[in-house]
Structure 1
Amino acid sequence: MYRSSSLTRRTPLGRWGLAAGVLALSAVALTGCGLQPSTSYVPALGPGSITPLDGAEGVELTVTSKSFTEQLLLGKIAVLAGTAAGFDVTDLSNLPGSQPTRELLLSGQADVLWEYTGTAWLTYLGQEESISDQDEMWQAVHDLDIDNGLTWGTPAPMNNTFAMAVRSEAVVELGGITTMSELAALPVEDRTFCVEAEFNSRPDGMNPMLARYGLERGAADGVPDSNIGIYDTGAIYSATDDGACNFGEVFTTDGRLDALDLIVLVDDLAFFPAYNVAPVFFTETIEAHPGLEEIFAEISPKLTDEVLRGLNRQVDVDGDEPADVAYAWMIEEGFITDPTS
């Protein structure tokens, strides 16, 4: 998931210049990776609990998303939902970076994006104080983004925030640890961490996290610098599982948590900001088609941490296509049907 230390707010580009620039950037990125455009594959579907909305026929609806696994899945879910609702859907998912998707939505070149509350609050809206309460965070970004012409829909339970995880085999060895408050009771030599470079230095990262839990970075009786290893994001999961450290910095909906049987410690002092996902709409779109917001409000409650870990795992571990995984889940939940069965 995109995590930026930048707290600056950017101004939207011109309507047509932005669209051309983003599409060109997307085309280059896709070509360079040898992938097909995201518009090339959308499975055929039939109506389920989502049925065509009055006035949707012939109306264009553009969906966008970022380019990492979870966003690809959510983007395809949005594409399938919009198609089932009767819109002519343009799929602009799989864009590299958070800012291009945000700019498309702000300009009205996209109509809907699944976005994270913490990303909007800290990165787009320029707020420096994080909010750990999930309802409070959603309300805060909702209220600020209204003035930007964006409307935040019903948030999902899934909260893809930072966390510290421990390999399951080490839990007993470490005294049955389940919460982050228990880190302070461990011997110094057991307080070992694998983190990415950004988290190690960001103002809401490693040092303030340790301080919140009563541990001083660099202190002999706290967490010595030699106890902290810096890794690429993906390597943290395997390093933690292999025992290179006892505690690895992870994201709470990553499919590798289940695949490697890593146990997430409870953030019992509520240090990490909320990163719940919610559909964000170009306000003019849902003013014209209010039923669209209601459809996404039916989908959101089904998107839990456990569900997203399972879906992400199917892509990242099992190698399945995001569109196929999203399609199967939408059918399983009864939102759509398979017209060939």
Structure 2
Amino acid sequence: MQAFRVRGSGFIAGVIWGTLSLLLGCAPPRSSRITIGAKNFTEQVVLGELVAQEIEAVSAEEGRPQRVERRFYLAGSYLCHQALISGRIDGYVEYTGTALSAVLKQPLDRDATRVLANVRTMYEQRYHVRAEAPLGFEDTFAMVIRDSDAKRLGVRTISDVARLTPAPGQPWRLGVGYEFQSRPDGLAGLIQRYHLVFDKRQRVMDLGLLYRALASNQVDIVAGNSTDGAIRSLGFSVLKDDLHYFPPYEAVPLFREDSLRTHPEIQTALDRMAGKVSAGEMQAMNDAVDGQHRDVEEVVRAYRRQKGF
């Protein structure tokens, strides 16, 4: 996920980014300790904490215990990227589709293998940054409906939405976030790809309100993110993107090559986690923090114990 939850427009966005860049330039450089960054939403903070705790565990096992510095709640991909290439942080977790389109400014590509290969090559050539092995899950856009409707109508895929309606003569009532409405991989292309018909009174709202609207029967289907904790806690179903419209958004740690040389324990930690984090596990951790209001450090600690990291 990723850039999904950061939105803005034109002049205001430019002012915000300019201000943040200035603040970043004035921020103190990272210490001699390993420094992990994260964007400003729950999943990113959970992933940053997961990477940090695993590095700390490896360093303790190797007889060189150290505390990893956290620089979380950085405002989106732009600021995390600037912090990474300027050496303010050693690494953070990004999503391959976001890295390709938002950071590297490349055209959309829906081939996951090719996207990862291009991201790895370009980050190494341009920034001397290594894109590590994916953690094992994607945080992609997802079309979400109430589980009761999914069972009642037999809806499992987005193609099913094109064939079926919630009631005779009643089109699906859609809820979307502001960004999804305008992204190149967003609503317009989705409608065209699947030949979807929605109620003309589409509701565009803040992402935090989408699931409330779905739960209260104000809408029938929303464009959320596949690992949102509310999907689990509120009993919703994610529809399969059977025509593969959405680009791949694999969670991939990005780390400076000089940091990996200086701190080999980072690579050991990343190798341990490679391919081990499932979308369901990520969704459960997001829900534990957002829905159950549990402490991020404890949620990650419990997860690591469960996984045997």
TM-score bucket (shorter structure): 0.7 to 0.9
How far off its partner does 1:109 sit?
2.0
Question: What are the within-5 Å matches in structure 2 for residues 330-341 of structure 1?
Answer: 330-335=304-309
- In structure 2, what is the equivalent of residue 135 of structure 1? 113
Normalising by structure 2, we get a TM-score of 0.85
Q: Which residue of 2 aligns with 1:2?
A: 3
**2:198 counterpart SS class:** coil
Sequence identity (%)? 27
Partner of 1:49: none
Q: Secondary structure at the match of 1:101?
A: helix
CA shift at 1:293, angstroms?
A: 1.8
Supply the distance in 2 between the matched residues of 1:305 and 1:332 (Cα, whole angstroms). Answer: 16
Deviation readout 1:15-63 (Å, 9 max, x if unpaired): x977553569xxxxxxxxxxxxxxxxxxxxxxxxxxxxxxxxx962111
**1:22-171 correspondence to structure 2 within 5 Å:** 22=27, 60-86=33-59, 87-129=66-108, 131-147=109-125, 148-171=127-150
TM-score if structure 1 supplies the norm length? 0.77
Q: How does 1:320-339 map to 2 (within 5 A)?
A: 320-335=294-309
Contact 2:227 2:283 in 1 (8 A): yes
C-alpha displacement at 1:5, in angstroms? 7.6
**Equivalences for residues 262-281 of structure 1 within 5 A:** 262-281=236-255
Deviation (angstroms), 1:214: 2.0
SS of residue in 1 equivalent to 2:275: helix
Does the 8 Å contact 2:74/2:80 carry over to 1? yes
RMSD between aligned alpha carbons? 2.5
Q: Distance in 2 between matches of 1:120 and 1:262?
A: 29
The aligned runs of 1:157-236 (5 Å cut-off) are 157-173=136-152, 175-187=153-165, 189-215=170-196, 222-226=197-201, 228-236=202-210
What one-letter code is carried by the residue in structure 2 that aligns with 1:67? N
> Structure 1 pair 89/20, CA: closer, same or farther in 2 (3 Å)?
farther
Secondary structure at the aligned position of 1:94 is classed as strand
Partner of 1:249: 223
In 2: Cα distance, 1:269 partner to 1:254 partner: 22
Tell me the equivalent position of 2:11: none
Q: Which runs of 5+ in 2 are unaligned?
A: 9-13, 60-65
Q: For residues 213 and 279 of structure 1, what CA distance do their matches in structure 2 show?
A: 33
Tell me the SS of whatever aligns to 1:190: coil
Partner of residue 258 from structure 2, selected from 277, 284, 297: 284
Alpha-carbon distance, 1:197 to partner: 1.7
CA contact (8 A) 1:5 1:202 kept: no
